[in-house]
């Protein structure tokens, strides 16, 4: 099994271009099933999760051809299967995103239980609620089997603002008969990208970027040429890396509005940056000191659905907090197993009290030492890389497949910034 060998102690420095948004690329690949016409997708990151989604797309009868760096031509002129292969589903949770498009195109979808990150219970009930409200019938045995003679528009209130359930509902509703009103919808930038792509294909969607979407079904969708937005999770990860190693970084290709929620939370740890257009600059000599709340109270950094602090950056900012003077409470409210990775940080010398599955008190700065680490999920894996680059000595990071599911060519790109990291 591949692993990373990392030697820490050196600040990173340089310029890097952000990759395309993984979480937008995956639903947009699934959405290509909704048309018989060719779809061109640009700025697609070269990562494992994208490769698996493309494998599923082809297994269902679609055709995928790379036409240049980050550019894919997809065509689903015919769908030969409505069964998602189990060997792909177990690798990636986003495989469930094919349910909505398959129902809309074929009236049937068969899904094995999806895999993905081990960060706690990730319920599927909201997907089922949305799709059954639109007229699908569900039977559950070894697989989840959906069928629908036809989908119809409906007024739907989601029981939670689930990103993938929102995306599934949108993709099913765009070809349903009549009007769908989707309330308590997720509104993350990747959901917005999906809506923009579908609108370019001919869908009628109002309310993009809000938590209430109005979708008027159309008879068919056409092709489009669509560019995926920047991955703001990668931007946040790189900012955390630069600040924690006391380095500097220039990141190009960003979308400034997508970074605003992170800027508030990073600011609580004394980290600031400037941006001009699509270029962001984090300078050296950050204060790296906790800014107390009014009255000298210990501040809290907690995640929330958009536009709150992104849950996927919780692991990153926890590592950063170990290198900051002062004490902060990290509250991960959404996944009950995500914070367990802090045991590895504690083993490296971090001063962290894990209060319960959702809350950790971090006091810094702590002197970290190299260790043998294992990546439990995409974001915690990147957090391990950051911790190793802060630490004195050498670290080995195992299960790096998890990291490469979400970060494009991460070893050469970090090496170009001066990181002492290699894959072995």
Adjacency order of strands within the sheet including 224-227: 63-68, 71-75, 39-42, 224-227
Burial 190-207 (b: 16+ CB within 10 A, else e): bbbbbbbbbbebbbebeb
Q: What gap in Å lies between CA 16 and CA 330, rounded to an integer?
A: 28
Q: What gap in Å lies between CA 365 and CA 362, rounded to an integer?
A: 9
The bridge status of strand 224-227 relative to strand 274-276 is unpaired
Question: Which entry of 117, 193, 231, 303 is annotated as an active-site residue?
Answer: 117
Q: What gap in Å lies between CA 23 and CA 407, rounded to an integer?
A: 11
Q: What gap in Å lies between CA 9 and CA 247, rounded to an integer?
A: 11
Whether the link from the prior residue into 365 is cis, omega within 30° of 0, is yes
Q: Measure Cα distances from 375 to 48, 88, 239 in Å.
A: 15, 20, 20
159 catalytically annotated:
no
**Other CB atoms closer than 10 Å to residue 155's CB: what's the count?**
11
SS3 at position 91: coil
**Other CB atoms closer than 10 Å to residue 11's CB: what's the count?**
19
| Token output for 60 | 């269902």
* Rama region for 15: left / alpha / beta (φ>0; ψ in -120 to 50; rest): beta
Place of tokens 């001919």: 202
Residue 275 and residue 236 in contact, taking contact as beta carbons nearer than 8 Å: no
Q: What gap in Å lies between CA 297 and CA 165, rounded to an integer?
A: 38
Catalytic site positions: 117
């Amino acid at each position: 099994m591949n692993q990373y060998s990392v030697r820490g102690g050196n600040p990173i420095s340089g310029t890097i271009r952000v990759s395309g948004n993984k979480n937008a690329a995956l639903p947009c690949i699934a959405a290509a099933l909704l048309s018989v016409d060719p779809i061109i997708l640009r700025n697609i990151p070269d990562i494992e999760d994208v490769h698996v989604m493309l494998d599923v797309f082809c297994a269902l009868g679609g055709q995928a051809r790379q036409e240049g760096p980050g550019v894919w031509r997809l065509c689903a002129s015919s769908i030969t299967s409505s069964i998602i292969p189990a060997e792909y589903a177990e690798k990636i949770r986003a495989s469930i995103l094919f349910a909505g498009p398959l129902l809309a195109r074929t009236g049937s979808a068969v899904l094995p239980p999806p895999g993905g990150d081990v960060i706690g219970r990730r319920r599927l009930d909201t997907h089922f609620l949305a799709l059954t409200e639109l007229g699908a019938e569900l039977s559950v045995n070894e697989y989840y089997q959906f069928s629908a003679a036809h989908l119809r528009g409906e007024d739907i209130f989601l029981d939670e603002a689930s990103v993938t359930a929102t995306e599934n509902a949108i993709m099913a509703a765009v070809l349903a008969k009549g009007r769908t009103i989707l309330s308590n919808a997720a509104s993350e930038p990747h959901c917005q990208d999906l809506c923009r792509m579908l609108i370019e294909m001919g869908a009628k969607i109002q309310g993009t970027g809000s938590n209430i979407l109005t979708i008027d079904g159309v008879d068919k969708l056409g092709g489009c040429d669509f560019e995926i937005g920047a991955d703001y999770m990668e931007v946040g990860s790189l900012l955390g890396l630069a600040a924690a190693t006391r380095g500097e970084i220039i990141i190009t290709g960003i979308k400034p509005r997508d970074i605003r929620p992170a800027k508030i939370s990073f600011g609580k740890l004394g980290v600031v940056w400037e941006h001009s257009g699509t270029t962001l600059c984090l300078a050296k000599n950050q204060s790296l000191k906790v800014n107390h709340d009014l009255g000298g109270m210990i501040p809290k950094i907690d995640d929330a659905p958009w536009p709150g602090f992104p849950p996927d950056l919780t692991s990153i900012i926890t590592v950063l907090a170990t290198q900051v003077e002062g004490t902060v409470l990290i509250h991960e409210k959404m996944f009950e197993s995500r914070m367990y990775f802090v045991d590895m940080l504690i083993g490296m010398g971090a001063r962290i009290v894990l209060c319960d599955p959702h809350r950790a008190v971090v006091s810094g700065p702590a002197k970290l030492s190299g260790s043998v680490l294992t990546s439990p999920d995409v974001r915690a894996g990147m957090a391990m890389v950051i911790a190793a680059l802060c630490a004195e000595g050498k670290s080995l990071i195992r299960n790096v497949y998890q990291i490469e599911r979400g970060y494009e060519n991460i070893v050469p790109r970090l090496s170009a910034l001066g990181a002492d990291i290699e894959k072995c």
